[in-house]
Structure 1
Amino acid sequence: MSDPILISICIPAYKRVDFLERLLQSVTIQTFRDFEVVVTDDSPDDSVKKLCEQYQELFPLKYFRNPSALGTPENWNEAIRRATGKWIKLIHDDDWLVNEHSLQQYVNAINKHPHATFFFSAYRNFWLHSGRQQDVFVNSSRYKQLLKQRATLCAGNVIGPPSVVLHLNDKQFFYDNKVKWVVDIEFYIRYLKTGQPVYIPEVLINVGIGEYQVTQETFRKREVEIPENFYLLNKTGIAALKNRLVYDAWWRLMRNLNILSVEDLRTAGYSGAVHPVLRSMIAWQKNTPRSLLTNGVFSKTIMFVHYLLNRNRLRQ
């Protein structure tokens, strides 16, 4: 009996065949070959199917057309469900592997850390319209914070988008289809309950950034960010705010969305309980002149004072 495939490259696709072709080309040139490609297609036409047919003789490629569009993130989950490899390498159709050694670098990390189940790499942001590029590496202090407390991801996604992640195919972990804005953070926090992440400080993935993406569509929208952040907080527990980075993230969330009352949370779509510390945070911001609140130094200072006065009230 042959050994199972090592890596399943899972690609949730939707119409954008130009981007998908770039990704498939980057897969074609990989020096590491023990992989399969799984494409799950939400497209209303056969454009993705026809493109995949052109690559099926170049490497193992399984194409699945969804009977009806699953959307984000359920189409991601469908690709993971269809995968047969030992490891899952989810890659969005507008992202692609940096060079021919990208997959091999992930495999090298697996071999170096045989007990790890979750890896993530540095990556390159690539603005699709302008061509601007920016390499993204994890700050060492933030990485140490992540290893100490996974909830610090609420203060900033230092791991990056799902395309930079490799995790074990255990058929237990899928992306929560109740959220979109915090979907990757929620997944990482939940997954990392099982073990520590391993960071690969090499740029292995190009991450395409365009105006059409879900993250661009939902940015600074109360009706998206408020319910989803409370959903995540209710999962992690209010004690997560004892970490000053997380506390500051919630301070900035309320400030940036101009939340001035609990009623603002209700009109944004959140109907659950609001912890007294968050109520106090909202009241402090309401009573602070906006011109001062948007001043970075002043805002940090008043946040820190509020944190010192309230951190002992943050219990599960």
Structure 2
Amino acid sequence: MSDCFISICIPAYKRTDYLQRLLQSIAVQTYRDFEVIVTDDSPNDEVKQLCNQYSGSFPLHFYKNPQNLNTPENWNEGIRKSKGEWIKLVHDDDWFSSPESLAKFAEAAKKHPGHTFFFSAYTNIYEGTGRMQEMRLKPFWSKALLQNPMVLISDNVVGPPSVTMHKNDKTTWYDRNMKYVVDIDFYIRYLENTRPYYIDEPLINVGINQAQVTKYTFGVPEVHLKESLLLLEKTGPKHLKNMIVFDGWWRLIRNFSVKNVDQLCAFGYNGPVPQIIERIIQFQNRIPAGLLKNGIISKSLMSCCYLLGRNKI
């Protein structure tokens, strides 16, 4: 038997101002069958002192990592320490949007026992400007995601881990060798054996700031492109038969201006390169760069490349 229904796992590193905002949003939740696990990578005791202030408000378990685990291993550490039936990983710069948020996750899990992975709409809130951007799953992407989770390589329509909740099965972990596509990689592997359930209500506020790993790794080929290739190595090229997945790879090759396979090695990837990826590279090399940058033209060229090569995937 689990000790509680939901384990809220918070990987912490300094940033106590963000963490306090999150802990305060947890303190006011109407649903109370939960525990909070804080795993701390900080070099000082500021996070511990803050957690002590909330220890009387809800079950809070603080763990100081003896050495820095870093992203995403610190995420895994919180899951390892958890005792709840469900995992609700929340980054310290995100927070619950209303006192009913956790209740709505719990309600969805109880009403839909055939599902083990839930995610909700959310609101991006940009630090500095305060701009708010509501993120909801469109019907097209809902259908595509149900058909093949690999479409997430084209667009992460699930969102960050903070908007998800999954069964605490202690079998699926975030890949410690990844930074940029680590959440996509986890979702794809987790959804191999289950169907996601989407809650069409923004239950989480996602703080957007320049300190986030995805901010300083986006567009860096040694991280972004290399990790995407590692993900492709795990899942196999067969998924490129799906046109949405193919389009995602078309745009990756185009955006990083990959001219040959040797360039992939220069970016740090030393694994096998599927023939279909080589075909995309060769096809794009025959097209003037200016045309590839034109969205409509590029989409048409992608369709031609896909139709010519799909039977060879």
Aligned to 2:47: 48
Preserved CA contact (<8 Å) 2:233 2:271: no
Aligned to 2:29: 30
Aligned to 2:283: 284
Preserved CA contact (<8 Å) 2:84 2:168: yes
Report how far residue 311 of structure 1 moved: 0.4
Gaps of 5+ in 1: none
Alpha-carbon distance in 1 for matches of 2:270, 2:305:
25
Alpha-carbon distance in 2 for matches of 1:211, 1:205:
19
Task: Work out whether 1:21 is the aligned partner of 2:20.
Answer: yes
Alpha-carbon distance in 2 for matches of 1:105, 1:170:
21
Aligned to 2:120: 121
> What are the equivalent positions in structure 2 for 1:102-181 lying under 5 Å apart?
102-181=101-180
Alpha-carbon distance in 1 for matches of 2:29, 2:273:
50
Report how far residue 296 of structure 1 moved: 0.6
Q: 1:87 to 1:3 in 2, by over 3 A?
A: closer
Aligned to 1:189: 188
**How many residues end up aligned between the 2 structures?**
313
Alpha-carbon distance in 1 for matches of 2:282, 2:193:
38
Preserved CA contact (<8 Å) 2:233 2:272: no
Alpha-carbon distance in 1 for matches of 2:276, 2:67:
44
> What are the equivalent positions in structure 2 for 1:150-299 lying under 5 Å apart?
150-299=149-298
| SS of alignment partner, residue 8 of structure 1 | strand
Preserved CA contact (<8 Å) 1:119 1:166: yes
Preserved CA contact (<8 Å) 1:128 1:208: yes
Report how far residue 167 of structure 1 moved: 0.6
| SS of alignment partner, residue 86 of structure 1 | strand
Moved more, 254-263 or 270-279: 270-279
Report how far residue 238 of structure 1 moved: 0.3
What do residues 262-286 of structure 1 show as CA deviations (whole Å, max 9, x unaligned)? 1211111111222222112112212
What do residues 137-172 of structure 1 show as CA deviations (whole Å, max 9, x unaligned)? 001111111111111111111111000011111111
Moved more, 146-155 or 304-313: 146-155
What do residues 172-217 of structure 1 show as CA deviations (whole Å, max 9, x unaligned)? 1111111111100110111111210100001000001111111011
Report how far residue 3 of structure 1 moved: 6.6
| SS of alignment partner, residue 151 of structure 1 | helix
Alpha-carbon distance in 1 for matches of 2:56, 2:11:
20
Aligned to 1:76: 75
Tell me which amino acid in the other structure corresponds to 1:209.
I
Gaps of 5+ in 2: none
Q: RMSD between aligned alpha carbons?
A: 1.0
Alpha-carbon distance in 2 for matches of 1:141, 1:280:
28
TM-score, scaled to structure 2: 0.98
Alpha-carbon distance in 1 for matches of 2:92, 2:64:
15
Sequence identity, in percent?
A: 52
What do residues 69-114 of structure 1 show as CA deviations (whole Å, max 9, x unaligned)? 1000000000000001111000000000000000000011012102
Alpha-carbon distance in 1 for matches of 2:301, 2:2:
59
Tell me which amino acid in the other structure corresponds to 2:120.
S
Alpha-carbon distance in 2 for matches of 1:56, 1:312:
59
Preserved CA contact (<8 Å) 2:237 2:276: no
Alpha-carbon distance in 2 for matches of 1:222, 1:151:
20
| SS of alignment partner, residue 251 of structure 2 | helix
Alpha-carbon distance in 2 for matches of 1:277, 1:291:
23
What do residues 25-61 of structure 1 show as CA deviations (whole Å, max 9, x unaligned)? 0000000011110000000011100000000011110
| SS of alignment partner, residue 84 of structure 2 | coil
Tell me which amino acid in the other structure corresponds to 1:116.
H
Preserved CA contact (<8 Å) 1:164 1:205: yes
Alpha-carbon distance in 2 for matches of 1:3, 1:137:
32
Q: 1:204 to 1:283 in 2, by over 3 A?
A: same
| SS of alignment partner, residue 165 of structure 2 | strand
Alpha-carbon distance in 2 for matches of 1:231, 1:218:
16
Preserved CA contact (<8 Å) 2:117 2:197: yes
Alpha-carbon distance in 2 for matches of 1:276, 1:198:
35
Alpha-carbon distance in 1 for matches of 2:228, 2:154:
11
Preserved CA contact (<8 Å) 1:39 1:62: yes
Tell me which amino acid in the other structure corresponds to 1:196.
R
Preserved CA contact (<8 Å) 1:116 1:195: yes
The 4+ residue runs of structure 1 with deviation greater than 2 A are none
Preserved CA contact (<8 Å) 1:247 1:307: yes
